[in-house]
Each structure stands twice: as C-alpha cells, then as structure tokens.
Amino acid sequence: MLGTAVVVLLLGLGLPFLGVHFGLPDDRVLAPGASGRQVADVLRSDFASQETAALSVVAPGAGDPASPAVAASTAAYAGELSRLPGAVRVDAVTGSYAGGGQVAPAVPAADRFASPTGTWLSVVSAAEPYSAAGERLARDVRAAPAPYPVLVTGDSAQLVDTEAAVVAKLPLAAGIIGGATLVLLFLFTGSVVLPAKAIVLNLLSLTATFGAMVWGFQEGHLRGLLGDFTVTHTLDTTTPILMFCVAFGLSMDYEVFLLSRIKEEYAAPATTGWRWRTAWNAPVGWSRPRRR
C-alpha cells in the first residue's frame, strides 16, 4: 500500500513535464541591467516583428539572380513564403513581400541578397523564435515548394534541428544506458528482477525531477527563491539530458551501494557468539547464530 502511494506521488510530481516546451538560451538569461538585454527588450516590446531573429533561406545554386528566369522564380517564391502563417515580411533580391504580394521594390541595398551563383531570402516573423509559432514557421518554410534547392537557418530552425537530433539519438542512448545497467547489475547480483527493479524505480524518481524542472523554471514557480529569473516559458533542451545523467547516475550509485552491502552480509560466514535477534518471525532477544 505504501509502495503504491509512493509511485502515485512520483507520477503526480512528474505530470508538469507533459507540458514541457523546449527552447535555447537567449538574451533573457542576462541580468535586466545588462546592455545587451536592454536592447533586446526594446526590440521585443516596441517593434512588431522579430527582425533580429529572421529565418534565412539560402539558395547557393539558384543561378545568377540578375537573370530574368531566376528573378521571376525568386519573386514568386518570396510571395509564397510571405503567405505562410506567422510570416510578417519576406525580403529578397527582387524586393519585399507581405501577404503574397510585393510591398516594396528592390533597392540598391538588396544587392546583399545576390551572389554570382545564388541568392538568399529573409523571412521575418512576429513570433518569438523559440515559441511554438516560431518552430511552426520554420517547419512551414522548409516544407514550402521551392524553385531551387534551399537551406533554412535561423534561431527557430536551430531549435527544430536540435530537438530532432536529440529525439533521433534518444532511443540509442537509452538502449545503451539501460542495457549496460541491466548487464552489470545482473553480473553483480545474479538476479534478473533486481536490475529491472532498479531501473524502474530510478525512472520513477526522474519523473519527479523533470516535473519539478518544468514547474519551477518553465512555469516560474521558483522565481522568487532562485534569483528572480526571467520566465521564458521554455526549458533549455540540454537541461533534461544533464539532469538525467546526474540524477540517474547518483541514484544508480546508491542502488549499487545498497545491493553490495546486502550481498556482503548474505555472503559473510556465520560467526560464533551472541547477537541481538530482531527477525520478524522470532521474538526479540539474544540468540546464538546458527551456522549455515
């Protein structure tokens, strides 16, 4: 009964992790008085678009941007990108686009979008780059049909790639850690149940750890106790990995310590003399230990 209550408690503490939203550190990790933080706060609050966090769509093999065919395909592509939900404006060598149409002609400064063999476009969004809307725009830009091969980068695209890389390698990492733990504990104890029990209980304790991270840092409930940090409603993608390594390693260390002490006591030869009897199935008192 007590074990069931503990399991339910640990699972309840881990529930906030179901609402986790990952991000990457930005200027908001700086102190409010830092000049870089103040400039970014002004840009964030006083301007409608995230100019500094625009997505860059690079087409290194598009051809000469000055040729009529490439210019026409670039203009059509920029117009389509400007229709995507969350896109405020698309700047290209042929001009600026919003809502599917051209809103400004090409200017001399647009030469920065041109090279002898390719071009690139800037997709400006109104959403925070590390928000769900920012990630969605990055995925939509990559999924949009392009007249030539393109590469998409930027803060939102970097977050999407980081999450994809972590998810892709997570099964392999979990398999290596779990398999190594099972094999080592089996060789140590000769039991199949004890290694499985150790992994399950350690994972239960990790659920509470991950839930506390989301509740305390992503949702900001520990803000008053930990330096009044800025709540970004995101959790750094590397934090759960680091916490898993630390918490799982420490808990498994204590598991090994406990099992090794039990194994030592079980393997120790019986000794002569008197010892205090505390077995559940025998009355408390002094007794002479029996030899095995």
pLDDT, position 126: 84
Domain boundary among 153, 188, 206: 153
- Smallest Cα–Cα separation from 233: which of 147, 126, 107, 128? 128
The per-residue pLDDT for range 140-181, each reduced to its tens digit, is 999 999 999 999 999 999 999 999 999 999 899 989 998 998
Q: Are residues 7 and 62 in the same domain?
A: no
Confidence of residue 109 (pLDDT cuts 50, 70, 90): low
CB half-sphere exposure, 51, CA atoms < 13 A:
9
DSSP 19: G
- Assess if residue 221 is contained within a domain: yes
- Assess if residue 47 is contained within a domain: no
What tokens were used for 152? 């998409």
- Assess if residue 23 is contained within a domain: yes
CA–CA dist 84, 100 (Å, integer): 9
- Assess if residue 36 is contained within a domain: no
- Assess if residue 286 is contained within a domain: no
Number of domains in the chain: 2
pLDDT, position 165: 92
CA–CA dist 103, 176 (Å, integer): 55
**Residue numbers of the domain that contains 122:** 55-153
Q: Are residues 164 and 263 in the same domain?
A: yes
CA distances from 54 to 28, 76, 88, 155 (A): 18, 19, 10, 8
Confidence of residue 139 (pLDDT cuts 50, 70, 90): very high
Q: Are residues 163 and 149 in the same domain?
A: no
CA–CA dist 20, 12 (Å, integer): 15
DSSP 1: -
Burial label, 5 (beta-carbon count in 10 A; 0-12, 13-18, 19+) = exposed
Q: State if pTM tops 0.85.
A: no
- Assess if residue 278 is contained within a domain: no
- Assess if residue 93 is contained within a domain: yes
- Assess if residue 217 is contained within a domain: yes
pLDDT, position 270: 62
CB half-sphere exposure, 95, CA atoms < 13 A:
15
Q: How many CB atoms lie within 10 A of CB 140?
A: 17
The per-residue pLDDT for range 210-263, each reduced to its tens digit, is 999 999 888 888 887 777 788 888 888 888 888 888 888 888 888 888 888 887
